[in-house]
Structure formats: structure tokens, C-alpha cells
Homo-oligomer: A and B are copies of this chain.
Amino acid sequence: MSDNEEKKEVKPIKGDDGSLYFELDDKKRVTVRKFKGKLYVDIREFYEKDGEMLPGKKGISLNLQNWEQFRSLIDSIDQCITDI
């Protein structure tokens, strides 16, 4: 496993509404959801109201094609971050 540390899998958290999400920090979430039979990956800020976390305006929904394109760009984005 030592060469493979970044590959370890994290289980998603199940939200009250049945959504499945991962936390980027205490406010930002990546939610995987199906809507009308299509898959979306939603990266969004949440805010707290009456002890509940609610989705805010800041965010974007990626469809599956967007997601696959995004994933294929990860290494290039990393390289860009290093170069900038």
C-alpha cells in the first residue's frame, strides 16, 4: 500500500435527503446525485441555518461528461499549479 496512498478510498457521507457527499472542508462538499436518471457531481458551499447545513449559491454542477473531462485534466491542472 505504500506506493498507493492516494488511492485509498473514502466512503461518502449520506445526507438527510439521501444524497451522498464528501467533505472538502467544513463548508464545501462534493455531492454525487442522480437527477432524472442522469448523474451529476456537484461541488458546492453550504451554510448553517438552525443547526442544519443547507446548499448555498456558490457551486457548480458537473454532468458526467464534464466530470470525465475534469478527471482527465487533474494532472494537467496540478502541473499548471506547480508552474504558475
Binding site for B on A (CB under 8 A): 6-7, 9-12, 20, 22-25, 28, 30, 32-34, 39, 41, 43-45, 57-62, 64-67, 69-81, 84
Give which listed residue, B33, B58, B72, B78, contacts A59 with CB less than 8 A: B58
Which residue on B lies nearest to A27, using beta carbons?
A: B66
User: How many copies of this kind of chain does the complex include?
Assistant: 2
B-chain residues with CB within 8 Å of residue A77 when the two chains form the complex: 22, 30, 32, 41, 67
B-chain residues with CB within 8 Å of residue A20 when the two chains form the complex: 80, 84
Determine how close the nearest CB of chain B comes to the CB of A76; give it in whole angstroms: 4
With A60-B59, A77-B30 already in contact, the answer to whether A84 and B39 are too (CB < 8 A) is yes
